[in-house]
């Protein structure tokens, strides 16, 4: 486990499977965390042991589809800790299963709003601060289908591919300022939701949210200081 002592990390989607695993991994490595969720009360329920902690902040009621909320989030983190060392964008949503010509345009709009706009807004909000600070790390959560998309997942794959290209361009822009941006691209993960949806699948071959979290913890650590603009597939054990 990398040493992230006193690092301040923003984790969006902190109540989701990957977000919660990432928050736990970063905290275990010594990081102070800003945990973000759209709901006003889910963070307190998900992290009862952190309520009132001086080392962790609940950023509840933050709607990252709104640029002003992303700006407010960054302000909250700076007001509390005086710095931001890393941003992990784990907000995301999945819909799919229909051929492209049958998939509702509303599904396309929803997935691009949740998967792309939230990532765009947080990156736009935090990047000026990281540049002024002279360093920082961003990790965006894409998906394996962004690299190779199967039938029936055009909308989801396209939204996650947008996250990949956003990350690559941002990495090129930030390199001269001592900042890094990378993405992870998990395949099907071993979560309760996926087990319920695919009860007959080979669950033991799937990667876990903890597997993803360990890669993210590495990417925001000094051990990954030479890694910028990459997309790391996390494909499981198959």
Specify the pLDDT at position 13. 97
Q: Identify the pLDDT of residue 190.
A: 67
Tokens 């695919």 sit on residue: 198
Q: What is the pLDDT of residue 23?
A: 98
Domain boundaries, the chain: 8-233
Higher pLDDT, 205 or 24: 24
Question: Distance between CA atoms of 4 and 137, rounded to whole angstroms?
Answer: 12
Q: What is the mean pLDDT of the chain?
A: 94
Q: What percent of the chain has pLDDT over 90?
A: 82
Which pLDDT does position 32 carry in this prediction? 98
203: pLDDT strictly greater than 90 = no
pLDDT category of residue 96 using cuts at 50, 70 and 90: confident
* Rounded distance between C-alpha atoms, residue 191 and residue 187, angstroms: 12
Query: What long-range pairs does 226-229 form, CB within 8 A, spacing at least 24?
Result: 227/180, 227/182, 228/171, 228/174, 228/175, 228/180, 228/181, 228/182, 229/167, 229/168, 229/171, 229/172, 229/175, 229/181, 229/182
The predicted pLDDT at position 237 comes to 77
Specify the CATH superfamily of domain 8-233: NAD(P)-binding Rossmann-like Domain (3.40.50.720)
Residue 188 has pLDDT above 80, yes or no: no
Question: With bands split at pLDDT 50, 70 and 90, how would you rate the model's confidence at 238?
Answer: low
Q: What is the pLDDT of residue 194?
A: 72
Give 10's DSSP letter: E
123 to each of 150, 156, 223, how far by Cα in Å?
28, 20, 22
Band of pLDDT at residue 36, cut at 50, 70 and 90: very high
Summarize pLDDT for 147-186 with one digit per residue, the tens.
999 999 999 999 999 999 999 999 999 999 999 999 999 9
How far apart, in whole angstroms, are the C-alpha atoms of residue 201 and residue 207?
A: 13
Say how far apart CA 48 and CA 20 lie, in whole Å: 13
Catalytic residues, by residue number, are 156
Per-residue pLDDT band for 82 (boundaries 50, 70, 90) equals very high
Average confidence (pLDDT) over 41-66: 95
**Residues 108-158 pLDDT 10s:** 999 999 999 999 999 999 999 999 999 999 999 999 999 999 999 999 999
């Amino acid at each position: 486990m990398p040493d992230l002592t006193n690092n301040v990390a923003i984790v969006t989607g902190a109540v989701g499977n990957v977000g919660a695993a990432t928050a736990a991994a970063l905290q275990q490595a010594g990081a102070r965390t800003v945990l973000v969720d759209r709901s006003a009360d889910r963070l307190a329920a998900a992290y009862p042991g952190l309520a009132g902690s001086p080392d962790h902040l609940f950023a509840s009621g933050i709607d990252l589809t709104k640029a002003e909320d992303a700006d407010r989030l960054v302000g909250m983190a700076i007001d509390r800790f005086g710095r931001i060392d890393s941003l992990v964008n784990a907000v995301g949503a999945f819909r799919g299963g229909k051929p492209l010509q049958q998939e509702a345009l509303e599904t396309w709009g929803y997935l691009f709003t949740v998967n792309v706009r939230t990532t765009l807004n947080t990156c736009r909000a935090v990047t000026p601060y990281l540049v002024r600070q002279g360093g920082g790390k961003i990790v965006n959560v894409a998906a394996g289908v962004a690299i190779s998309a199967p039938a029936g997942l055009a909308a989801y794959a396209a939204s996650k591919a947008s996250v990949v290209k956003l990350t690559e361009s941002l990495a090129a822009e930030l390199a001269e300022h001592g900042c890094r941006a990378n993405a992870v691209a998990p395949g099907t993960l071993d979560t309760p939701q996926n087990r319920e949806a695919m009860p007959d699948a080979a669950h033991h071959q799937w990667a876990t949210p903890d597997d993803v979290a360990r890669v993210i913890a590495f990417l925001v650590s000094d051990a990954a200081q030479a890694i910028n603009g990459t997309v790391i597939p996390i494909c499981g054990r198959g």
